[in-house]
Every structure is written in structure tokens, then in C-alpha cells.
Chain A
């Protein structure tokens, strides 16, 4: 079977997608969707899984999906009403299905009666009565052992004449014959009257037809299934000779649904053939290949910007076509890069779709009623980001359900609706993706948080932090206020890891809480981890890149707007608010930079962690899209630098990590407070400063 390994890989990749679809559709169903397309979609997915399972001889999987499909089929044409218990059964059945797919993929054995309980329930629902356990087992084994005793033996006459297309589509009559043989006793008579003399034979034509006589206990649709993948590419006629036993009447239902038993061209795959054909607008590409493409385009962008830099002072009148060519090259490169990046963009749906399930399970475990609302699930973000956001979102949802939402009784007592609401939303904002997770629970218990923070020595006894500061303490390492450790959350690692992981991606996370009303996590991430718009700045002759999304504005402040606190913290007053300054040359210990901010440039940057701060640099060089390169693949991490890029001249330029720079500058101030003579800042100023930058006067807890 190893020769099929490659196809199996594809099959399992497809299964994963299909199971994901099933999940999405089931969630829609559970929220009361009455769209018939939902059930159709689930049916199609399960059917595709069944088809593949049959082809690769995963008998258990095939048998189970067959029964699952039967249930779905009856639900979609309304013979079985879609009730809550029904949906719940579908959910559990989809669990069994994914477990079976998993076991088939990992080549592990499941017990013979795995999922038989679900099968029983399905058959109760399908047949309206409980079938004996034995009967359901028989259905499981239908494809391996020939039949169950209750069914009669049927003699099928099968006329099978493959067309040339059959071979072109890589099918093989021999495999079909073998498959038929597993169903029962088979005799085959080749029909050779189409066979031309050897000299006239075309190697790619199909000349031989067969007449099979199959004596089997299998149902007609099972026989038809053998030809499922070749119905289009052959002429096929199946007639049953022997009389049908009465017990088969019930089993006959699927056959009559599938279509006229005598014309197998109407079997489901053929029937929905045009639909799938229209849908095939995508191809499956290995991620490695795309990554290579993205890397090469990145190199191309660098080369292109190097070229345009080198030729920027080329006299256009002397080399008109060359200059024009370079301009076009720049345009095309940009477009090429955007298209390549777009290949990797995916809607966040693939992550969001996993959440209803999580909420369902957690709410059952915690005995809380929860409504989950997802907004903006079609927001697109780079594949690399998608892979990374699933864990943080899961964690935050767990947190909201476990700590945020009250129990049902408590909610009723508080006059809130019985079911708690949790909302996940995604949107693009300023070249980043913003994901928020909000709940209408009790909000953060600031007293408990503060007490715990003091207990753990995260803040000093004397310091009184602001509400916002307290809220964000839940991101401090080793912090958990849950009074008891549950298996849902509360192990003390968690939110700090979440924050660290998000920061590692160049993202930020914060929480806003309204006691008694609920809390909201806000997570912002770059759309891609591969390119970024950057502002190139210079300090002491070295070039650095500041991420554009962080930049608010840049200015050269007048001397009168500059102040210094007794702590040594320099401030600039801009439109009535005082903003702290970080001197890049001080943080990086660079010699020869401009030290007076009134002569240098101040780039105002913004972050959820610290608000606004000004970074003092010598000058701005320009704005450019930069390809992000890891510094850490060959070197250790550098404080204050998140990554690096390669500029047009081929030189490396570090990309600044704004949050880290702010932290370093605060640390430097604490370690070596600059003695200031007489700045005499009023208490009012101190206060206003504390308001704009709550963390300024306090040790940072991140």
C-alpha cells in the first residue's frame, strides 16, 4: 500500500479541512441556523471522507461515515427533524469521525466497537427504533465481512466497459475487480469483440470490456460504490437477478435516494460533479514552496531598491528608457511582492471556527451558559500569524469563561441574563490586525489582584497603582487570582506566557476591565511577519528602522517645550501633554549623536504598553517597506532590537523594538538618576504625567 502513501497524505490533508468545515457548519447548526445548505455542506464533507476511506480501505472509517452520512441525508431532506439532541449527536459523531481519521492517519488500531454507541444512537434516529447491538456491529463490518445474516444473497450482473479516459484518470480495472471480489463470489467474462488486430492497437485506448457475475450479500449501493470513481469513464450497467429479501426493504432506502439503481451515473459524486467542478479554483501548495517564493521576492525587493538607489542620480534625459525601465521595475516588484504576500493571507476563520467548540466544552465543564459571538472572521492575516494566534486566543477565552463569567445563579442574582456573552472579533486597523475578546462577566477583582501582587512582591507596599495598571498585572509572570486551581485555567502560568508570545510576534496585548460589567482583551498583531513598513532613522551615523505602525508623528521640538524631571527623565510638552523622551544614543551607548533634542528629531511612538513616548534620533532618512530578517537565527537576541532588515545598499539595519527601548530607558534612569539642578516641576505636572503614562513613576511589571 506504500505506493499510495502520497495520495494518502493528500487525503488526510483534505480530511483535516473537511472536518474543519464540518465543525464550522455544526456550530452554525447549533446556533439554530435553518439554512439547508448547512446540512448539505456537512453531508458533502462526510461523503468525501467516506469516499476516500473506501478507496484506501479504511473499513471502519468508511463504515462509520456511511452511517453518519445516512443520518445526515435523512436530516437534510427533513425526514428526521433537526433537534437539539440531533445536533448534539452530530457533534459526537463528528468527534468519532475525526478520531477514526486520526487513527487511520497514525496507523493505530481502534477497538472494533469504537463508536458503536454513537452508531446505535444514529440507527435509533435513522430507523426510529433501537437496533440490536449486533446489527450495528454488522454495519461496521459491512465492507470487510461480506454481509450480515439478515440480508439475502443477490446475484448482480455487471456490464463494465471502461473508456480510455478511465486510464487517463489513473484508474485501474484490476483494482475494481479486486474490490468486487471482496463483496462476494465473482466470476468475470472478458468481452473481446472490440479488440482490433495487434498492428492497429493503440496503447492508450481501452478495448476490453467485462461482464461480471457477482454473488453477494452486499446491497446494490455498495456494489455501485465500487465504481464510484469511474462512473464517468465507463459504460456500466448493474442488474440484480435474484429476488430481494423482505429484510432489505429497509436497507433499500439509501439506494432509492441515491437515484435510479439501474443508472449508477446518478450516484452522489456524479450528481454533485458539476458543483465540485465549479468550485475547484484553488490548488494545494506546500508551505515551504511559498516560503521560498516569499524569501526570493524579499531578496528581489532589496535588489530592486539597491538598483534604484544606485541609479537615482542618473540623468533621465541621457538614459530615458533605462530610467523608465527602473521605474517600471519598482512598480512590478511592489506588485509582485503584494501578490506573493496575498498568497499567504488567510481569513482568521480557521482559528475562530475552533472556538465555538472550546466554549461548548468549557461551558459544560464549568456549568455556565455561554453565548459566543464571532465578528469579522473573514479578516485576512498572514498564515504565519494565523498559526501563532490560536493559542493566545484559546487562553484568553478560557480565562474569560473561567474567571470572567459568573455562574448562572450569580448572574441571575445580579440581574444579568442567564447566559454569559463572550465576543471574539477581528478587524484591520492601521496595518495591523486587532483581535478583541470581551465578556460581560464580573470584570477584574482589583482588590484581589492588588493583594496578590503585593503578596508576590510584584509591587511595593507603599505604591498605589492605577486601575489600569492593576488590570494589566494579570499579565505579570506567576500571577493567578483563581482561588482554586481548576483544570480549565489557574495554574499560574498563562497570561504572562500569552503576553510574551504575542510580543515575540511584534504584537501587543492589554486588558480593559469594568468591574461588574465585564472585561475585554485587546490583542494587536502585524498582518504579516515577513514584511513591514518602516521609517529609517539615523543616530550617530548608524541607521535603524522604526516600525511605521508605532509612529504617531515626528517633530523637532522647540527648546521651550523641553523639561527634565528630578529623576532625570526628559519630557517634551506637545499640545498640553508631557511625553517622556528616550535617547537612542544613550540606550545603545552610541558616541557622536546629537544630544540636544531641540537640534535632533523626536519620533513620537505609541504602544499599548506604555502609551506615547518620544525617541530622539539624529535624522529621518525615509520610509520604506522592509523585509524582516531574524537576527536570532545566527546570533543572540539584542535588547531593544526585534529583528533586522537589509537596506538598499545591502547593509543590515536593526529594527527597533519600541517597548523594549522604553523599558531600557526607564531602567537606565532608575540605575543612574541624573542629578538635576533646579527644574522645579510642580506637583500638577507630575500628576498629569502620571495620567498620561501610568507606568512612568512605577516599576514596570511586564
Chain B
């Protein structure tokens, strides 16, 4: 199990390349107060991103334990230093078939609310620093409902990156018990 801890600062500078003086000036400009950083990762040619503050760590893929009757896009659960973390196949979640995971595939461990989940992707590509104003709304074109899971779109150079709403993406897997608890509490109070 190789854990790659993300060092935000060093990655940002190495991966985005050396900043030009203009960019440096922009960095320091007060209008960039709304700057956000995103970790981007890819499935095939498509790029997705999550808020860097959500990302706990990045691991190489290891075998996981399959749970009975898990959803088809779930790979199983992983032991992350004593806590049990469900791992989801992002490609499969978007109905693009199952990822044939190997040790070069990557699991991004993220926090969604007070829950920790992992998403299996092909590779982690970048750390993106963007201003809030650069985030474009998702055109409401398809009726698959999948666009609900995208908060917005960002253009990074030539590429288009979709910002994921992980909470809504895996809502059914991570929210159900909370509702149940609430029911229980209500029953107890009744």
C-alpha cells in the first residue's frame, strides 16, 4: 500500500509549472481572494476535479473486500489505517464500464461531510488553482440526471474539467444510515 500524501504547495508549483511574472502578480492581486484549488484526475480522456480540501490522501490501487449486494459501481471496502472506507469506481458510476484496476490505478480518498470514501480513477493529473468566477455552470442538456453531480465546469488550457459533487454522487451509499438514525430517534421520542 503506497500512500502518496499530497503536499499542496509543492505540487501546485511543480505541476502547474513555473509561474510567469504576470501570473505571480495575479496570485497576489486582491481580486483573487475567491481562489480555489482542485485536485483533478482522469478517467480515460475525461477529467474531473474535487476540492482539494476534501482530499485526504491518494493511494495506489490495492485489492479490496467485496461486500454482499454492493452497488455495481462499488468495488468494496478498504482498510485505511483501521477505518473501513468504501471504494467506488468512478468510471462505472458514470456507466462507462468497469475499470480494470491495476497497481497503476489510483484511489483518491476524500471526505464527504463526516464520511470518508475512496474513488477509483485512472490517474491523478493536476492541481488546479482557479478563481471562483472561472467556474461555468453545467449546460442543462441531458436528462439523465447525471449532470446533477457536476457542480460546474472549468477550462484549464485546452482541457475541460468537471467539478464533482461527491456528496450527491454517492448519496445513496453514504446517507442512508443517517436517515435511519433519524427515524430511530423519532421513534424513540414518539
Contact = CB atoms under 8 A, between A and B. Distances in A.
Interface of A: 295, 298-299, 302, 491, 493, 497, 500, 542-543, 587-590, 629-641, 644, 646, 650-654
Nearest to A651: B65
A642 to B, nearest CB: 12
13 contacts: A302-B82, A491-B190, A542-B65, A587-B68, A630-B84, A631-B77, A634-B83, A635-B86, A636-B175, A637-B176, A638-B67, A639-B69, A651-B79
Contacts of A646: 79, 82, 84
A588 B81 CA distance: 27
Given A644-B77, A654-B67, A635 B84 contact: yes
Contacts of B68: 587-590, 638-641, 654
A632 B177 contact: yes
Interface stretch (B43-51, B127-135, B180-188): B180-188
B136 interface: no
B55 interface: no
A629 B66 CA distance: 16
B177 to A, nearest CB: 5
Shortest Cβ-Cβ A-B pairs, 7 listed: A588-B68, A636-B176, A652-B65, A635-B86, A652-B77, A646-B79, A634-B115
Nearest to A589: B69
B78 interface: yes
B85 A641 contact: no
Contacts of B175: 636
B11 to A, nearest CB: 26
A652 B188 CA distance: 33
Nearest to B82: A299
A497 B188 CA distance: 7
A653 B84 CA distance: 10
Contacts, number: 90
B63 interface: yes
B65 A654 contact: yes
B187 A493 contact: yes
A302 B82 CA distance: 9
A650 B188 CA distance: 38
Nearest to A644: B84
A635 B66 CA distance: 13
Contacts of B86: 634-635
A654 B172 CA distance: 20
A543 B174 CA distance: 24
Given A588-B69, A589-B69, 13 more contacts: A298-B82, A491-B190, A497-B187, A587-B68, A589-B68, A635-B115, A636-B173, A637-B177, A638-B67, A644-B65, A644-B77, A652-B65, A652-B78
B171 to A, nearest CB: 10
A659 to B, nearest CB: 15
B82 A636 contact: no
B117 interface: yes
Contacts of A640: 68
B98 to A, nearest CB: 15
Nearest to B67: A638
Contacts of B63: 651
Interface string B53-89: 0000000000111111110000011110111111000
A641 B77 CA distance: 13
A589 B86 CA distance: 19
A660 B98 CA distance: 30
B1 interface: yes
B101 interface: no
A634 B174 contact: yes
A653 B169 CA distance: 26
B67 A641 contact: yes
| Secondary structure type dominating chain B contacts | mixed
Contacts of B174: 634-636
B6 to A, nearest CB: 20
B151 interface: no
Nearest to A587: B68
Contact of A650 (B1, B177, B187): B1
Contact of A652 (B79, B115, B190): B79
Interface centre among B65, B81, B115, B180 (most CB of A within 10 A): B65
B84 A638 contact: no
Contact of A634 (B66, B84, B172): B84
B173 A635 contact: yes
Nearest to B189: A493
A144 B115 CA distance: 53
Interface string B146-190: 000000000000000000000000001111110010001001101
Contacts of B70: 638
A500 B186 CA distance: 14
A335 B155 CA distance: 59
A89 to B, nearest CB: 36
Contacts of B117: 634-635
A586 to B, nearest CB: 11
B116 interface: yes
B190 A637 contact: no
Given A500-B184, A589-B69, A654-B67, A634 B79 contact: no
A376 B82 CA distance: 36
Contacts of B81: 299
Contacts of B67: 631, 635, 638, 641, 654
A583 to B, nearest CB: 13
A653 B66 CA distance: 9
Contacts of B83: 629, 633-634
A654 B65 CA distance: 9
Interface string B86-120: 10000000000000000000000000000111000
A534 to B, nearest CB: 15
Interface centre among A631, A632, A652 (most CB of B within 10 A): A652
Nearest to B118: A634
Nearest to A477: B187
Given A629-B82, A652-B77, A654-B65, A637 B115 contact: no
Nearest to A491: B190
Contacts of B116: 634
Nearest to A542: B66
Contacts of A543: 65
Nearest to B86: A635
A260 B131 CA distance: 81
Contacts of A632: 177
A425 to B, nearest CB: 26
Interface centre among A491, A543, A644 (most CB of B within 10 A): A644
B73 to A, nearest CB: 13
A543 B65 CA distance: 9
A606 B34 CA distance: 61
Given A295-B82, A299-B82, A654-B68, A636 B77 contact: no
Nearest to B112: A634
Nearest to A643: B84
B167 to A, nearest CB: 13
Contacts of B173: 635-636
A386 to B, nearest CB: 19
